[in-house]
Structure 1
Amino acid sequence: MNIDNTASQMRKGVLEFCILSIIKEGEAYPSDIIEKMKAANLNILEGTLYPLLTRLKNAELLSYRWEESTSGPPRKYFTLTEKGAGFYKELEATWFELANAVRALTNTEQENINNNNFNNPQ
């Protein structure tokens, strides 16, 4: 089994949640979303981001506005809609339930890693 493929699938599963999380903080331009995700060590390419933004917009979770740019074409800024804010809250609750469940299942292994006992379990 390929670990890179599995890790990639795990990341893809949380991309929409992460995108909504960034946009809930305020209006966001796609390159800003990419930068924030990179800063969090979740690299995303424009070719992945734009289809996700379109899907979220088509689901009426996002809206956007155009702003003229002094250094190129107009920029599209995204915001959460009321429906998107509600969806985000539900998704956030689901995320925390899932994260807590995974943490509970992997807690013993993590304790061993934290205590440097991973290779020498007691």
Structure 2
Amino acid sequence: MTNNREMTDLEVINFYNDRGNSERLFDEMNNDFLWKKMPFSFLQENTVFLIMMGICRNLYHFLTEHTSKKLDFIKPNFRLKKFIFRFMAVPAKWIKSGRQWVLKLFTSKDYHPLLE
């Protein structure tokens, strides 16, 4: 609901959808990239922290976009925790076989398309 009489119905809907996108972005930054609790006591240090976490978020989204094109079990809209548990937390063991070390992954997922 709004009291703005100059906007059309479609403009009002788009405005509130943009607001929802902003709320979703802040939710992601608060919960995934530690914006909920500032780690430092001074404003300058916290400003640098916020900027660095914003850069980390952009790199994370680039990484998920890239890996989701090659692996079918990764989606580009995964949150950070889900990505870590689905992609990075894989039991593995280094095995020496024929005078060379081989990494044995204990998973049924196929990670080979990333190497191509």
TM-score between the two structures when normalised by the length of structure 1:
0.28
Work out which of the two has the higher radius of gyration on C-alpha atoms and give 1 or 2. Answer: 2
The higher-RCO structure (CA 8 Å, 6+ apart) is: 1
